Amino acid sequence: MIAIEDVSKRYADGTVAVDRLSLQIPDRSITVLVGPSGCGKTTTLRMINRMIEPSSGTIRVDGEDVRSRPVNTLRRSMGYVIQNAGLFQHRTVLDNIATVPRLLGWSKQRARERAAELMERVGLDPAMARRYPYQLSGGQQQRVGVARALAADPPILLMDEPFSAVDPVVRRGLQEELLRIQGELGKAIVFVTHDMDEAITIGDRIAVLRTGGRLAQFAAPDEILSSPADPFVEEFLGSDRGIRGLSFLSTRDLELDRSRVFPVGSDRREMSGRAPEGAPVLVTDADGRPLGWADPGSWDGDVEALEPYGPVFEVGRDSLRVALDRTVLSPTGQAVGVDGSGKVLGVAGQETVAAAIRSARRRRRAADAPQEAPAVKAGR
Ligand SMILES: Nc1ncnc2c1ncn2[C@@H]1O[C@H](COP(=O)(O)OP(=O)(O)OP(=O)(O)O)[C@@H](O)[C@H]1O
């Protein structure tokens, strides 16, 4: 547990970067510091590993004041990842990752073995071990940065806008990778970003800071989205917080319609009879995988003539946000729900998704929201 207790930072020129900040950062969870440029996120992060000393207040790790430990020992107990990775350009990937173990006195061989193990953990091809940072893409460099920070197995990971310099697709991959690694390793991660979507995707808890380094709200992402503390937080969340909040509601209990799903070769009279009046039907292959939409009144059985079924959602894994999105993208307004192997479980329109949203909210209210774990993580 990291406890930030009434901490302020006033720089020499009088700028107050952080103002009487108090935060309890739990173990085995990702705490995100988010807020507009200049609100004191980096200053706060760097006070934890004493790259910056607070002007007042105390920071404790597991009850112990960070000032009571030699600064080098303290920093080695905290992995640190920054934007653009900050790799040593003259060292290979393997030696970059082995840096801290070597500083800790590990033999070269043991440190390199550990580095190779970490390359695998962060999803880097072993063939990259002998490359230099300039021979890697931005996303690969960030992975090396994460591996290097994890090398000595520190209990705490400090990450300062680590994925800001890569394109959105790579960034998404890095976020998923971080969540996977965190699922395996369970560190206390403090993650700085100015991007609310990133905060919602990866944070177990989010601290929203306002300019001047004051805390505006500290809560779980779904709570921040559903109950922003004040107009500042509300504005920072943007105009679609309702839709974003659906990321935390599961499609598990969505009432899927199976009556209009038919395997190819089905009798067309049966199709027209069973499907709702005038409604298109979804045709699947013999294994139950979607082929496309048909109008049962006019379709002649030619699979080539089916209308594309659009992107699908995975029932139970994807959120109601994804299901709603799929209804918008579907040519029929009906989203196709599949199981993990891609077989159709049924279809759902916007009314069905809306009903699921209402009942999920009712359940959540009844269960007293703060106790209920988010149904879905990561805003898929
Ligand atoms: N060494 C310094 N001397 C004076 N002022 C500083 C110094 N470092 C930072 N600041 C100021 O302190 C405030 C907080 O800076 P900080 O870098 O912590 O913000 P941030 O939220 O991380 O910003 P960004 O998102 O733009 O990186 C800003 O007004 C900044 O200009």
Tell me the CA end-to-end span of the chain in Å, nearest whole number: 29
Q: Which of 42, 53, 164 to mutate to test the pocket of ligand 1 (most atoms within 8 A of CB)?
A: 42
Q: Report the chain's mean pLDDT, rounded to a whole number.
A: 90
Nearest CA to ligand 1 atom 2: 11
pLDDT in the model for residue 298: 87
Q: Is the confidence at residue 81, as pLDDT, over 50?
A: yes
| CATH numeric code, 261-359 | 3.10.580.10
Q: In which element (H, E) is residue 205 found?
A: strand 205-210
Second-level CATH architecture of 2-242: 3-Layer(aba) Sandwich (3.40)
Evaluate if residue 262 carries a pLDDT over 80.
yes
> Each residue of 236-260: pLDDT tens digit?
998 888 898 898 899 998 999 999 9
Q: Where are the domains of the chain?
A: 2-242, 261-359
Pull the structure tokens for residue 222.
């779904």
Q: Compute, in angstroms, the gap from residue 265 CA to the centroid of ligand 1.
A: 66
What is the DSSP pairing of strand 78-82 with strand 156-160?
A: parallel
pLDDT digits (tens, 9 = 90+) for 275-287: 777 789 999 999 9
Per-residue pLDDT tens over the stretch 82-121: 887 789 999 999 999 999 899 889 999 999 999 999 999 8
What Rg value do the Cα atoms of the chain yield, rounded?
Answer: 25
Task: Please report the ipTM that was assigned to this predicted complex.
Answer: 0.97
- CA 12 / ligand 1 centre spacing (Å): 12
Higher pLDDT: 299 or 373? It is: 299
Q: Is the minimum distance from the CB of 17 to ligand 1 under 6 angstroms?
A: yes
Alpha-carbon gap, residue 264 to 309, rounded angstroms: 14
User: Tens of pLDDT along 46-61?
Assistant: 999 999 999 999 999 9
Residue 341 in contact with ligand 1 by CB distance below 6 A: no
User: Confidence class of residue 370 from pLDDT cuts 50, 70 and 90?
Assistant: low
Q: Whose CA is nearest to atom 26 of ligand 1?
A: 37
Residue 380 has a pLDDT of: 45
pLDDT at 305 over 90: yes
With tokens 């040593």, the residue in question is 88
